[in-house]
A and B are shown apart, each in its own frame.
Chain A
Amino acid sequence: MNFTAPVLNYALLAPMLIVLAGALVGVLIEAFAPRASRHNSQLFVTIASLVIALSALLRVRKQVSVSAAMGSITFDGAGVLFQASILVIAILSVFLIADQENFTALPAAVPGSDEERHSLQTDMRVTEVYPLTLFAVAGMLLFPLSSDLITLFVALEMLSLPLYLMAGLSRRRRLLSQEAALKYFLLGAFSSAFFLFGVAYLYGYSGSITFSGIQASIVGGSGNDVFLLLGIAFISVGLLFKVGAVPFHAWSPDVYQGAPTAITGFMAAATKVAAFGAILRIFYVAFANAEWQWKPALILISIVTMVFGSVVAISQRDVKRMLAYSSIAHAGFLLAGVIALSKSGLEASIFYLFAYGIATVGAFGIVTLVRDSAGEVTDLNRWSGLGKRSPLIASAFAFFLLAFAGIPLTSGFIGKFSIFSAAYESGSTAVLIAGVLSSAIAAFFYIRVIVLMFFKDPVEDGTSVVIPSGLTTTTIAVTSVITLVLGIYPAPLINFIASSAFFIR
């Protein structure tokens, strides 16, 4: 038996490799650099590797290849757009993560132990969150480019494992944070198992693990359809878990609430782009010809997800939980783009993902600023009168909420319009109607927060908006501007997406 050396196209893999290299450097810094200097050097390495990765990606954006890594990775226009979105979101999120107040001094210490107390007294700073972020980003970059099931699974684990850890790093309410991390991990492991099960069925059906092989088998139609159905169903469970679609959403409110807010923002925005990228690729490339098998189920899931997310969000009293349910609702809207199964659906999904991701990072950035002496305040009642205390921050948050609600002149409106029209164009009237109605429901709770911030008097309980650091300010400013510009003049981005949004087999 001959062993063939793998042929790799390094230029196309460069973004992922650079991020991975940055992560390894981060691990080395963690091991060898003196504690005092770690934070700055880690921050530098992280930002630098993300920026270099982005520029490396932009250099090869016109290239197309199915054999970037022996058929396991497909490099195409849509992939570039997903990767670029993830990198931009990651850079903005790292600015938030750089605010060390949010993270525990010594993650390994048991909550309430002497060790923990000591670490707090000596003002210890552990900075492993940076390499973890980079590992997660590398996994996210790989996820939407994977074109066989094994690579897809590896990418899934690569992005998930660091996230499980990061969710448990909160400085305050550590037990809640660790509980969230554990829940995320257990449910995530469970869904990974489903995913693997699906991989096995699909292999059994088609004798192939590549997307193009599966697609060929579906077109050929010689396999056992039961295996195909089971395979698609189980793989969908694993992927839908990552995006928090109902009924696989149970983890998301707890994890959103428990994780450090900067991590929540990163997770909510970047994971969604990566996971929807993978979903779009597998459904558009591998399963497209079996659409009659999966479309009805996905339509149902999409409708249930948007309605459930919007309805349950109404009763939330915690801003992070509310945003979690809102992100569930948005997952439902995004599934409309998968259902569309058309070029306009793909374009709309990419625009929506980018716009939503940017606004999400901005919104969570603002959540990190509302604090009292014991840390962040996420109880919505205590947000009342925020507009009086800090009009600028409250206005920015209100603006993001309006973007989530899809009010015109925000990016959310353009996204909503394009994704619903793509869904309707493909014949899913039910999705359009459910989407519009749940948008109306969703508007209710977004507006309730605006009422709280602007029309209620402040409660004197020590809640205040801290002066944001330069990096956090940058993130909030940049995300607000992008959200506004994409609402007023989205044509350049839409044209760019239209020119390069395609999957190749």
Chain B
Amino acid sequence: MNALTTMMLLPVIGSILVAVIPSDQVLRIKQAALGTTLLVAISGVLAWIKFDSSNTALQFVESAKWIPSFGINYAVGVDGLAIVLILMSVLLAPIVVLAGWNESEGGRWSPKVFYILLLVLETMMIGVFAASDVFLFYVFFEAMLIPVYFLIGGFGTGERAAAAVKFLLYSLFGGLLMLASIIGLYVISGANGGHTFDITRLSELHMHMSSMTQNLLFLGFFIAFAIKAPLWPLHTWLPDAAAASTPGTSVLLLGVLDKVGTFGMIRFCLALFPDASKTFTPMILVLAVISIIYGAFLAIGARDIKRLIAYTSISHFGFITMGIFAMTSQGMSGATLYMFNHGFSTAALFLVAGWMQSRRGSSTIADFGGLQRVTPVMAWTFFIAGMSSLALPGLSSFVSEFLVLVGTYTRYPVAAVIATFGIVLAALYILIPVQKALHGPTTPGNENLSDLNLREKIAIAPVIAIIVALGFYPSPLLNVINPASAHVLEVQGFTDPVPSESAGK
């Protein structure tokens, strides 16, 4: 059976399994969920190993007719970019389950519901990256909002209902704009050789569009992705949602779901509308640079640790978007690697922040102090994750941030130079909370916090390991990403402005 389909089916089977276990056997339910996500992770790693990076065509291709009269197929297949993101998603899922072992309990509903939603979400996360049929992509893109909505609203803290609604409405609005564009594509494809949603055939369609049509359709897609990714000024839902969700949900929300936005920009905006992409690039770069700086300033001013992480993500998504629209191979590779790394460094930050919050009963930075003395392991994990977030050389984010900046500089030096200030600000927004919360004298209320237990250590260890390992040796990923991103650019007729040495290897 097709590797991708198997990976999508496994969580569905797991969720049915969870559904039939009686609600009072909570441990069983958790074990079933963990087992399923581990199984998916293993098959994800196997698929990544089997992936032939020298082949730039879609791999693990499967296609079956779904709604033939509209030309809709169940069609999956991945290139180097998609497989890397799928790998990230399936690796994060078991970590989230293990790290948030108890977060499903205190919710509005029983833990069973939590794990069913989580597993269904995992299927859709894989599907959204794997879909090579635009309609199928859209179905996953929209349908995955529903489990997230209930995960935030049902199991979060604080203003969870409001945050969930804000998240859903922003996303639905973007999604509906995208639907209009998809309908536009569908109709144009019908006029040029028959209705289809096949991404390869649609990517040849831009030759038949007027530039006005292309611009409008591009905007429909781009706004949806810019809400998802989120880019300034469409970012306001993210801090609320991240602060209200459980740490695990936040990890999936920022680590995986938001990547759908940046992934979509590459897969759909660039591939389907190359001319419109060029037209809008200056505007998008301005937005990206504003996101980088503005997100960083918001992060510096944040009092709440979860909001802080959300703001840093806005800044990071600015970098990713900039790398994509720089239209250079380094920028594109850097952006993709950045997506992967951001997933793990954000996961580490959110998980540790969640543990700090559950121990201290507060997520305000000012409530913490001197954790390094009381809970050394937790403090060090947070520190390493923070260093990765500010892209310290030797940790994974450095490679990707460097590539993005180099790739942007070769074509848009001004943007790259301004964005570099984001790095300086990053040092501020990470070092300030590190100093306040971890160092200095232990403040009252923090004396008796317990350090990470074995389960938490097991959960966070692989994340830290990946962050450090990829910092020193990113080739296993870059070898897969580089040909794919070169291919994306080549197909659309973009070339690197100056011959440059291959960076980052």
Enumerate A387-402 residues with CB–CB distance to B below 8 Å. Answer: 388, 391, 402
**A-side contacts of B69, CB under 8 Å:** 491, 494-495, 498
**A490–B65 Cα gap in the complex (Å)?**
12
**A-side contacts of B165, CB under 8 Å:** 447-448, 451
A371 at the B interface (CB under 8 A): no
**With contacts A407-B142, A409-B139 known, is A491 near B177, CB below 8 A?**
no
Checking A388, A409, A447, A494 against B70 with a beta-carbon cut-off of 8 angstroms, the contacting residue is: A494
A444 at the B interface (CB under 8 A): yes
B169 at the A interface (CB under 8 A): yes
B67 at the A interface (CB under 8 A): yes
Checking A402, A405, A417, A495 against B179 with a beta-carbon cut-off of 8 angstroms, the contacting residue is: A417
B161 touches A443 (CB 8 A): no
- Chain A nearest CB from B361 CB (Å) reads 22
**B-side contacts of A494, CB under 8 Å:** 67, 69-70
**A421–B232 Cα gap in the complex (Å)?**
31
**With contacts A417-B179, A436-B176, A495-B68 known, is A447 near B168, CB below 8 A?**
yes
**A391–B23 Cα gap in the complex (Å)?**
14
A234 at the B interface (CB under 8 A): no
What DSSP secondary structure best describes chain A's contact surface?
A: helix
**With contacts A417-B183, A495-B69 known, is A455 near B169, CB below 8 A?**
no
B184-192, B322-330, B395-403, B480-488: which lies at the interface: B184-192
A424 touches B142 (CB 8 A): no
A444 touches B161 (CB 8 A): no
**A-side contacts of B143, CB under 8 Å:** 407-409
**With contacts A447-B168, A451-B153 known, is A418 near B146, CB below 8 A?**
no
Checking B108, B109, B150, B169 against A443 with a beta-carbon cut-off of 8 angstroms, the contacting residue is: B169
B369 at the A interface (CB under 8 A): no
A456 at the B interface (CB under 8 A): yes
- Chain A nearest CB from B317 CB (Å) reads 23
- Chain A nearest CB from B256 CB (Å) reads 18
Checking A405, A417, A491 against B68 with a beta-carbon cut-off of 8 angstroms, the contacting residue is: A491
B461 at the A interface (CB under 8 A): no
A456 touches B168 (CB 8 A): no
**With contacts A407-B143, A451-B153, A491-B68 known, is A421 near B183, CB below 8 A?**
yes
**With contacts A407-B146, A425-B187 known, is A454 near B153, CB below 8 A?**
yes
A252 at the B interface (CB under 8 A): no
Q: Which of B67, B140, B142, B150 has the most chain A CB atoms inside 10 A of its CB?
A: B67
Contact with B along A45-64 (1 / 0, CB 8 A): 00000000000000000000
> Closest residue to B164 on the A side, CB-wise?
A455
B180 at the A interface (CB under 8 A): yes
B180 touches A436 (CB 8 A): yes
**A-side contacts of B146, CB under 8 Å:** 402, 407
B180 touches A432 (CB 8 A): yes
B472 at the A interface (CB under 8 A): no
**A-side contacts of B109, CB under 8 Å:** 391
**A256–B287 Cα gap in the complex (Å)?**
48
**A-side contacts of B153, CB under 8 Å:** 451, 454-455
Checking A424, A448, A456, A498 against B184 with a beta-carbon cut-off of 8 angstroms, the contacting residue is: A424
Enumerate B136-177 residues with CB–CB distance to A below 8 Å. Answer: 138-140, 142-143, 145-146, 150, 153-154, 160-161, 164-165, 168-169, 172-173, 176-177
- Chain A nearest CB from B490 CB (Å) reads 32
Give the size range of B's interface with the partner: 35 or more
B66 at the A interface (CB under 8 A): yes
- Chain A nearest CB from B304 CB (Å) reads 21
**A432–B179 Cα gap in the complex (Å)?**
10
A443 touches B190 (CB 8 A): no
**B-side contacts of A424, CB under 8 Å:** 183-184, 187
A436 touches B187 (CB 8 A): no
**A414–B172 Cα gap in the complex (Å)?**
16
A440 at the B interface (CB under 8 A): yes
A308 at the B interface (CB under 8 A): no
**B-side contacts of A154, CB under 8 Å:** none
**A-side contacts of B108, CB under 8 Å:** 388, 454-455
**A491–B142 Cα gap in the complex (Å)?**
20
**B-side contacts of A425, CB under 8 Å:** 187, 190
Enumerate A138-169 residues with CB–CB distance to B below 8 Å. Answer: none
- Chain B nearest CB from A410 CB (Å) reads 9
Contact with A along B68-110 (1 / 0, CB 8 A): 1110000000000000000000000000000000000000110
Contact with B along A281-305 (1 / 0, CB 8 A): 0000000000000000000000000
**B-side contacts of A433, CB under 8 Å:** 180
A354 at the B interface (CB under 8 A): no
A420 at the B interface (CB under 8 A): yes
Checking B65, B139, B154, B184 against A455 with a beta-carbon cut-off of 8 angstroms, the contacting residue is: B154
- Chain B nearest CB from A314 CB (Å) reads 12
**A455–B166 Cα gap in the complex (Å)?**
14
A170 at the B interface (CB under 8 A): no
Q: Which of B109, B138, B179 has the most chain A CB atoms inside 10 A of its CB?
A: B179
- Chain B nearest CB from A417 CB (Å) reads 7
**B-side contacts of A444, CB under 8 Å:** 169
**B-side contacts of A456, CB under 8 Å:** 161
**A407–B165 Cα gap in the complex (Å)?**
15
Q: Which of A436, A444, A456 has the most chain B CB atoms inside 10 A of its CB?
A: A436
B161 touches A455 (CB 8 A): yes
B190 touches A436 (CB 8 A): no
Enumerate A419-465 residues with CB–CB distance to B below 8 Å. Answer: 420-421, 424-425, 432-433, 436-437, 439-440, 443-444, 447-448, 451, 454-456
- Chain A nearest CB from B220 CB (Å) reads 9
**A420–B185 Cα gap in the complex (Å)?**
12
> Closest residue to B186 on the A side, CB-wise?
A421
Enumerate A457-505 residues with CB–CB distance to B below 8 Å. Answer: 489-491, 494-495, 498
- Chain A nearest CB from B8 CB (Å) reads 14
Enumerate A360-382 residues with CB–CB distance to B below 8 Å. Answer: none
- Chain A nearest CB from B92 CB (Å) reads 24
B169 touches A490 (CB 8 A): no
**A455–B172 Cα gap in the complex (Å)?**
19
A436 touches B179 (CB 8 A): yes
**A237–B422 Cα gap in the complex (Å)?**
62
**B-side contacts of A440, CB under 8 Å:** 172-173, 176
B138 touches A408 (CB 8 A): yes
**A201–B438 Cα gap in the complex (Å)?**
85
**A-side contacts of B190, CB under 8 Å:** 425
- Chain A nearest CB from B45 CB (Å) reads 29
**A-side contacts of B187, CB under 8 Å:** 421, 424-425
- Chain A nearest CB from B159 CB (Å) reads 10
**With contacts A424-B183, A455-B161 known, is A408 near B139, CB below 8 A?**
yes
Contact with A along B242-269 (1 / 0, CB 8 A): 0000000000000000000000000000
**With contacts A454-B153, A454-B154, A491-B67 known, is A437 near B176, CB below 8 A?**
yes
**A-side contacts of B168, CB under 8 Å:** 443, 447
**B-side contacts of A448, CB under 8 Å:** 165
**A408–B179 Cα gap in the complex (Å)?**
11
> Closest residue to B152 on the A side, CB-wise?
A455
Contact with B along A76-98 (1 / 0, CB 8 A): 00000000000000000000000
List 17 interface pairs A-B (beta carbons < 8 Å), by A numbering. A405-B172, A408-B143, A413-B139, A416-B179, A417-B70, A417-B179, A417-B183, A418-B70, A420-B183, A421-B186, A421-B187, A440-B173, A447-B168, A447-B172, A491-B68, A494-B70, A495-B69
Q: Please report B residues at the A interface, Cβ cutoff 8 Å.
A: 65-70, 108-109, 138-140, 142-143, 145-146, 150, 153-154, 160-161, 164-165, 168-169, 172-173, 176-177, 179-180, 183-184, 186-187, 190
Top-10 shortest CB links A-B: A455-B161, A408-B139, A436-B180, A421-B183, A408-B142, A425-B187, A408-B143, A436-B176, A440-B173, A443-B172
A408-B138, A455-B153 given; name 19 further pairs at CB < 8 Å: A407-B145, A407-B172, A408-B143, A413-B142, A418-B70, A420-B180, A424-B187, A432-B183, A432-B184, A436-B177, A436-B180, A440-B172, A440-B173, A443-B172, A443-B176, A448-B165, A454-B154, A456-B161, A490-B67
